[in-house]
Chains A and B, each alone.
Chain A
Amino acid sequence: MSKITDLSRTIVALATALGSGSIAVIRVSGKNAFDIVNSVFVGRDITREPGNTVHLGKIIYQEHKIDQVLLTLFRAPASYTGENIVEISCHANPFIVDKIIDILIQSGAQHAGPGEFTLRAFLNHKLDLAQAEAVADIIRTKSKIGIENSLQQLEGSVTGRINKLKNELIDLISHIEIDLDFNEENIIIASAAEINMKLGDIVQAIDHLIKSYNYGRIFNSTLKMALIGPTNAGKSTLMNQLLGEDRAITSHIPGTTRDTLHENIIIDNVFFSLIDTAGLRATKDDIETIGISRTKEQIKNADIILYLIDINTDHKTNDLVEMSIDRDKIIIVANKTDLGLRQEVIKKWLKLKLPTVYISAKTGAGISDLKRNIINLVAHGFEKYDDQIIITSKRHRDCLRNTRQFIVNAQKTIDANLGNEFVSVELREALHTLGQITGETANDDILNQIFKNFCIGK
């Protein structure tokens, strides 16, 4: 976290993703933002202009015009980072963008590190830790609901829920401490049974939040869906059926190189990367071997497997069984219902006791049913109700799991009659862990970890 913590630097970075759209936004944040941009801008003298204004002008370098731009001004503290910010909207031409950033660097700005804008927002008390993480999520997430959830977090509803739990814990801890420190009056503040019951309520609340992650996470990432099965079951037709309706324009799985074997679809606001293994079986020998081991890898990493069969052909169920795939990930898709249904074949596959859907890729029959089953599987059967707080971050989920463990320990300690001084140890650890979500438990490891996960320009 070295240079990144030098807050005297004025930083610059491209804030939009190149390649999307016709306008790029370059963000400059810091004490000298106005001076630096002003020195390369021809138009109004922006150092004299108030914040929340937009100005048309040109960026020039050595008398040459680089681009016509719009400047949006934000004056500290009324800005994202809490510092002075100038956002330069220019044409989304990579050469232009590079040149502008270059000129700004020459004028005194410095490249922003990953997550540095948001780090400054955090340091200037514009965001708490949960909110800062939400920013990363909003950027990453591709789905509308994911955005809703991250906005929810950004608005602080996760924080609010956590604070409520914290206050309940603090209340219980104080009851226990009163018992330990004030027994001279012999007042029974709360019986062991009462305390255990209240702890049970807290555990339940935490469980709700943990479960919501099953749902939340699917909006926060790209889920991998693999389509496998015997040849001629109709994979291509099904792929086209799915893609034809829902093909996404851009596709990116963060962190991996672009792979032509991936196609992206959105089903019900959930982003899937559809892994086509169809081509792999067709080749033979060495390539086949490489292909097969790659397929196995894909299957292992997939979040959901669609095993496609022709319901009118007597495929061996053994092929699927031998693959030893995690049962929770599989949906059996029985295709070609338009050509009939062979009961004895159906019976054989139903014996596997896996979710089974009947479709005709050709006619489109059963596709909506298939989609429903897909979502249901990846959401682990979670049903969301309105205004429900959803946890979308793995880190939060892990903190909640740990908190839960301490509280359960406390309950066991109460049941075992060990003594309130031990219950107190568990509950204080629970409180400490809960505080790690909103950053109240100041921990440099956590801070490092969180801001490391940001990308530059954010």
Chain B
Amino acid sequence: MDHYDFDIVVIGGGHAGIEAASAPARLALNVALVTMDHGKTGLMSCNPAIGGLAKGQLVREIDALGGIMAKIIDRAGIHFKMLNKSKGPAVWSPRAQADRKYYAQVAQEILAKNKNITVIEATASALIINKNCLKAVVLENGQTLQARAAIVTAGTFLNGIIHIGLNNFAAGRAGEKSTTGLTECLLELGFETGRLKTGTPPRLHRDSINFEPFEVQYPDNPPSPFSYWTPEINRNQINCYIGYTNPVTHKILEKGFSESPMFTGRIKSVGPRYCPSIEDKVNRFSERNRHQLFLEPEGYNDPEIYLNGFSTSLPEKIQVEAVHAIKGLEKAEILRLGYAVEYDFFPPHQLKYTLETKKVNNLYFAGQVNGTSGYEEAAAQGLMAGINAALKLKGEAPLQLARSEAYIGVMVDDLINKSTLEPYRMFTSRAEFRLQLRQDNADLRLAHYGYKLGMLAPEEYHQIEHKQAEVLELGKWVQKTKISPDEFFACCGKYSKPLKNSLRVSELVKRPEVKLETLIKSKYDNKYSSAAVQEVQFNIKYNGYIKRNQAMIERFQHYEKKSIPVSFNYQAIKALSVEAIEKLEKIRPASFGQASRISGVTPADLSVLLIHLERFRNEVNVSRET
């Protein structure tokens, strides 16, 4: 019988790592979290905020499955805002800025509380693999941790290089060493690797800023918690400030282009298209005479201000001059320069849907090492890898979320099938079933998985069951309750056409200007939670679209069910394009649906594949009959 030091070793204590460690620990497995600096666990490298467009949805899904990110931000958040409030509820996304140091503290606290987690301050430098299965993690100090599984969540640290202007030096993050060894070890095992880059803005000293020219941005009042189990946010909320660059700033930045590591070709790796540096913005959108900036305090007592929108790797002199050209920042003291960090990543087509690598059993990758950008994307992957590693070790079926069930499902499916030419970030437009995957109904969609797995405690799940029961009850109520013309006039007469006869609530709610909440109040029937009300209201107002989405989901599932045999020989189909054959052989999709999402497989290829699948199926049937 083999001896193991740990069931699972997690390499890297960032947002992916802390989820990857807490999940199996919660499921009673023995976990080691290897991190180079214990005090930096859970630290936000860049924007001191959690959530945002599409990302907020990810966080709530993590919460519904029993992950910890939402709980941390609820405790450490200092400026909560629901984005896209002016638009429909299907595209609302929660976001909150955090007290950055406190956030890390809370994360470390949660890890410390769990007796199944051992935090080991060390650097992982190699892996021991035997017969295509992970056996141990080797540390720089020579120590070896025997493990049944390992999850690599090393973030931007693998051979990380920081660039400021034409200077560069090895580092994974400002003030922190990079690591080397893991990538080389994985390369020897036959893994593919690439380089990506991400940037970060300068940090300014609060006391050196003149806030006068800036517009105040107020947080939501009351703030909406991320976690379904946080009843309310009690912490003090603080303001942020909105400002702009100007043509003078832009001119100064342009001066620096010749010394920009991006423009001079030093950084050959690709950066996120959607998170462009300020020099990218000035270069690409040269007709704009100003770009928006946000001053984001990093904590109540923290003098550091994060200059959101000014990500840069230009030389020090240029950064300082450009910042000082911004109204209000003339005397700003720069506590930390902006920089770009370049790092190793592993194209995720090398992974299975469980995030286990195809090449090595019981080895999982999660987070930025897979070529994603964002804390939320990383945390979601960490959670899925952690859960699936645990399930595999326990001999249970894996957890795989469909594109129609969760943004997490969309992300994993995209990572496995699409080629990553640049860092992957979540957008609502990536989700075909966006209308169904709302931030307010992640619990109804996913909590049952969390509970079945053992990630959610019974009391926690009862809360969700209660909401489900409420939704059912309210659904019946709106069908049988009628509003009289007088009642309607009293509550909605000012903005909605009066009724001639009594009408059912479910009919009235269809009017765009009418809110279900208002009608419930008019009947003095206040017992329903606002979450249940929101869910029922959305289903009524957008019933037509929901039905169509359902039809689309059915169509989608039809192609997901068209399975492709594991041994299917793509090479034999001469009618497929060369690229399609290459990609199909590499990825080996399990279904026609998955095949249709692989980049490089054209619609013409898909038609050919469909026909051949039919033929294959018929041949199999014939041979069965004979």
Contacts and interface: CB of A to CB of B under 8 A. Distances in A.
B141 to A, nearest CB: 44
Given A422-B542, A422-B545, A6 B615 contact: yes
B90 interface: yes
B53 A420 contact: no
A447 B610 contact: yes
A391 B610 CA distance: 27
A124 B610 contact: no
Interface stretch (B81-89, B148-156, B345-353, B526-534): B81-89
B428 A429 contact: no
Interface in A1-39: 1-3, 5-7
A123 B427 contact: no
A119 B435 CA distance: 39
Contacts of B265: none
20 contacts: A1-B614, A2-B615, A5-B611, A5-B614, A119-B611, A123-B611, A129-B607, A180-B53, A180-B91, A180-B429, A181-B429, A183-B83, A184-B83, A184-B292, A185-B291, A417-B512, A422-B542, A425-B545, A425-B548, A441-B603
B512 A416 contact: yes
A124 B575 contact: yes
B611 A183 contact: no
A439 B610 CA distance: 12
In the complex, the 4 A-B pairs of residues with the closest C-beta atoms, listed nearest first: A419-B88, A5-B615, A177-B429, A440-B603
B48 to A, nearest CB: 16
A354 interface: no
A108 interface: no
B54 interface: yes
B235 interface: no
Nearest to A7: B615
A186 interface: yes
A442 interface: yes
Nearest to B274: A182
Contact of B512 (A129, A186, A418, A439): A418
A442 B596 contact: yes
Contacts of B114: none
Nearest to B541: A418
A121 B549 CA distance: 36
Interface centre among A122, A182, A184, A440 (most CB of B within 10 A): A184
Contacts of A44: none
A421 B434 contact: yes
Interface string B187-216: 000000000000000000000000000000
B607 A442 contact: yes
B134 to A, nearest CB: 38
A125 interface: yes
A401 B608 CA distance: 27
A113 to B, nearest CB: 13
B545 A125 contact: no
Contacts of A177: 427-429
Contact of B618 (A2, A182, A184, A416): A2
A125 B274 CA distance: 36
Contacts of A2: 614-615, 618
Interface centre among A129, A417, A441, A444 (most CB of B within 10 A): A444
Nearest to B294: A184
A128 interface: yes
Interface size class for chain B? 35 or more
Contacts of A441: 603
A435 interface: yes
A115 to B, nearest CB: 12
Interface residues of A, number: 39
Given A123-B608, A442-B606, A420 B292 contact: no
B521 interface: no
Given A5-B614, A421-B88, A185 B607 contact: no
Interface of B: 52-54, 83-84, 87-88, 90-91, 274, 291-292, 427-429, 432, 434-435, 512, 542, 545, 548-549, 574-575, 577, 596, 603-604, 606-608, 610-612, 614-615, 618-619
B53 to A, nearest CB: 6
Nearest to A448: B614
Nearest to A179: B87
Interface in A145-176: none
A447 B575 contact: no
B330 to A, nearest CB: 24
Contacts of A3: 618
A122 B542 CA distance: 41
B428 A181 contact: yes
A59 B473 CA distance: 82
Contacts of A418: 88, 512
Nearest to A129: B607
B608 A181 contact: no
A401 B53 CA distance: 35
B87 A421 contact: yes
A415 to B, nearest CB: 12
Given A125-B577, A177-B429, A439-B603, 18 more contacts: A3-B618, A5-B614, A6-B619, A123-B608, A123-B611, A180-B91, A185-B291, A420-B91, A422-B435, A424-B429, A424-B434, A425-B545, A425-B549, A435-B603, A439-B607, A441-B603, A442-B606, A444-B610
Contacts of A124: 574-575
B90 A421 contact: yes
Contact of A439 (B274, B548, B575, B604): B604
Contact of A125 (B54, B83, B604, B610): B604
Given A418-B512, A419-B87, A429-B548, A183 B53 contact: yes
A33 to B, nearest CB: 16
B616 to A, nearest CB: 9
Nearest to B88: A419
Contact of A185 (B292, B512, B577, B606): B292
Contact of A128 (B432, B596, B604, B619): B604
A350 to B, nearest CB: 49
A272 B477 CA distance: 63
Nearest to A185: B292
A181 B435 contact: no
Interface in A102-156: 119, 122-125, 128-129
A340 to B, nearest CB: 65
Contacts of B610: 442, 444, 447
A443 B575 CA distance: 18
Contacts of B577: 125
A123 B292 CA distance: 52
Contacts of B87: 180, 419-421
Interface centre among A1, A123, A128 (most CB of B within 10 A): A123
Contacts of B512: 416-418
A100 to B, nearest CB: 28
Contacts of A119: 611
A185 B603 CA distance: 35
Given A184-B53, A421-B88, A421-B435, A442 B603 contact: yes
A408 B292 CA distance: 36
A447 B545 CA distance: 28
Contacts of B604: 125, 128, 439-440
A1 B603 contact: no
A123 B574 CA distance: 9
A439 B605 CA distance: 11
B158 to A, nearest CB: 29
A395 to B, nearest CB: 16
A128 B605 CA distance: 11
A422 B428 CA distance: 13
B34 to A, nearest CB: 36
B614 A180 contact: no
B575 A125 contact: yes
Contact of B607 (A181, A425, A447): A447
Given A418-B512, A425-B548, A429-B548, A183 B615 contact: no
B611 A447 contact: yes
A416 B54 CA distance: 25
A29 to B, nearest CB: 14
Interface centre among B54, B574, B596, B607 (most CB of A within 10 A): B607
